[in-house]
Amino acid sequence: MENMIMKLQKYIEDILGYVMVIVTIPKQELGNLPMYVNEIYNLYRVTLVDIHFVLVEYKDVDVFSVSQLEKHSELISTNLNQKVVLLAEDISALYRKRLIEKGINFIVPGKQLFLPDFLMDLREGNQNAGRKNKTEKLLPSAQFILLYHLLHKPITEQLENNSFTQLALRFGYTKMAITKAVDNLVYNGLSSVEGTKEKYIRFVGERSELWNSALSLFVNPVFKKVYVDEKPDGIFLFRSNESALHEYSDMNPSQQPHYAIERSKFYDLQKKGQLINPNEQEGAVCLELWKYNPEMLANGITEEVIVDPLSLYLSLRDNRDERVEDALEMIIKKYIW
């Protein structure tokens, strides 16, 4: 038993470069779990970086059953409020295939690591995959959630107390979209997840630490720019680009008015014929089609009708105008540091 745990710790350190902390769960902490669970498995609490889960190991490998393991994993997860991972010295190719098909987390030290709940799948012969740099960019929905967390500090705790279902209702996304967004944040080491039946996001680090960790992962919120001859009527628009910089810095607004509009709203206006001479070259007004809702992030940040400062920074950070660069520097000093 101890030998298997040592093999596991060495395997994780070799492929991921992290130390895995493993502690046996005392019987008195097993709560309402049936006695037979403790008779079938050795149970451990595990910490791997910011991930926490329950490790289960069969005491007698001859009683191994995928269907039984699936039921027991759900039972253990519900009672101990953590994900479950199977530890095995060896599993046949057929059983491995069935575990993967059912999405069951498992580790076979030296051969395979399959953790779909933690977005890792490192197979035999590809053990260096665990060392890859996390370069996946943030999904617009994930960026929206992270920026909301960074900007609306007074209600951060409230955000983390909202389940995925509540976040979907709050932000106008589907629950599936929220799940994918949080998975994206977890993959990039910016958050973790707690809960089983109802899941909750937990951000990793303080504001400046989170911002710096995500800086290379952020995407430009602007999908594309469209020029029109008149500002559309009947829709609430937020000033953006250089039209918004004066609120966050001492830079004067540009002569060309810029407004942010969520792209779904733009296409709705376009479908209804409410845009005058839309084109991608020139016009009296520039509409920036945003990948997420600019209004929800901006509300409560300033008294002006302008986009939020962090999205504004990300939309202009490639601008090489010294005045713009100085203005962006002022934004970071004010809202991050």
User: Which element (helix H / strand E) includes 44?
Assistant: strand 41-48
According to DSSP, the β-strands at 106-108 and 83-87 are parallel
Q: For position 1, what pLDDT does the model report?
A: 54
Q: For position 154, what pLDDT does the model report?
A: 63
Per-residue pLDDT averaged across 272-296, rounded?
A: 94
According to DSSP, the β-strands at 20-24 and 83-87 are unpaired
Q: For position 155, what pLDDT does the model report?
A: 58
pLDDT band for position 337 (50/70/90)? low
pLDDT band for position 250 (50/70/90)? confident
Q: Does residue 118 have a pLDDT over 80?
A: no
Strand partners, 11: none
Q: Specify the pTM.
A: 0.61
pLDDT digits (tens, 9 = 90+) for 20-40: 889 988 878 887 888 888 889
Which candidate, 330, 234, 331, 226, places its Cα nearest to that of 284? 226
Number of other residues whose CB lies within 10 A of the CB of residue 76: 21
According to DSSP, the β-strands at 20-24 and 41-48 are antiparallel
The Cα 78–Cα 61 span in angstroms is: 24
Q: For position 2, what pLDDT does the model report?
A: 61
According to DSSP, the β-strands at 112-115 and 106-108 are antiparallel
Per-residue pLDDT averaged across 303-324, rounded?
A: 91
Q: Does residue 126 have a pLDDT over 70?
A: no
Per-residue pLDDT averaged across 245-273, rounded?
A: 89
pLDDT digits (tens, 9 = 90+) for 36-53: 888 899 999 998 877 889
DSSP code per residue over 124-153? TT-GGGGG----PPPPHHHHHHHHHHHH-G
Q: For position 310, what pLDDT does the model report?
A: 96
Of the two residues 85 and 197, the one the predictor is more confident about is 85
Supply φ then ψ for residue 255, to 5 degrees.
-70, -30
pLDDT band for position 111 (50/70/90)? confident
Question: Domains of the chain, with CATH numbers?
Answer: 2-129 (3.40.1350), 140-214 (1.10.10.10), 222-335 (no CATH)
Q: For position 121, what pLDDT does the model report?
A: 44
276-291 core/surface letters (b: 16 or more CB in 10 A; e: else): eebeeeebebbbbbbb
